[in-house]
Amino acid sequence: MAWMAELGSFTAQPDGKKLRGILCALDSEESVLVVLNHPYWDAESIGAERHKRALRGFLSKFLPQLHAIEINGMRSRKENREVLELGAVLGIPVISGGDRHGFEANAVLNLSPAASFEEFVREVRDEKRSEIVFMPQYFEPLPLRLIENAWHALSDAPGEFGRGHWMTRVFIEQNGEAKRLSQFTGTRFHRFVDKFRWVISQVANPVLRPALRLPFLGHEEGGL
Please give the full DSSP string across 159-171, using - where no structure is assigned.
TSTT--SGGGT-E
Whether residue 132 is found in the same domain as residue 156 = no
Q: Is the pLDDT of residue 6 over 60?
A: yes
Q: How many residues does the chain have?
A: 224
Q: Is the pLDDT of residue 1 over 70?
A: no
Domain count, the chain: 2
Q: Return the amino acid letter for 95.
A: I
Of 138, 162, 191, the residue at which a domain comes to its end is 138
Query: What residues pair up with 55 in beta bridges, in sequence order?
Result: none
pLDDT value of residue 208: 82
Say whether 26 sits in a helix, a strand or coil: helix
Whether residue 109 is found in the same domain as residue 151 = no
- The range of the structural domain enclosing residue 89 comes to 31-138
Of 138, 169, 195, the residue at which a domain comes to its end is 138
Are the C-beta atoms of 33 and 67 separated by less than 8 Å?
Answer: yes
| Within-domain flag for 69 | yes
Whether residue 127 is found in the same domain as residue 153 = no
Whether residue 35 is found in the same domain as residue 134 = yes
- The larger pLDDT score, comparing residue 201 to residue 162, is at 201
Q: What would the pLDDT profile of 165-192 be if each residue is shown by its tens digit?
A: 777 777 888 888 888 888 888 888 888 8
Residues 6+ apart with CB under 8 A from 65: 20, 23, 24, 26, 27, 34
Q: State the Cα angle at 216 between 96 and 82, rounded to 5°.
A: 35
Q: Tell me phi and psi for residue 69, to 5 degrees.
A: -120, 160
Mean pLDDT of 80-91: 95
Q: Tell me phi and psi for residue 35, to 5 degrees.
A: -120, 130
Whether residue 179 is found in the same domain as residue 126 = no
N-terminal to C-terminal alpha carbon distance within the chain: 45
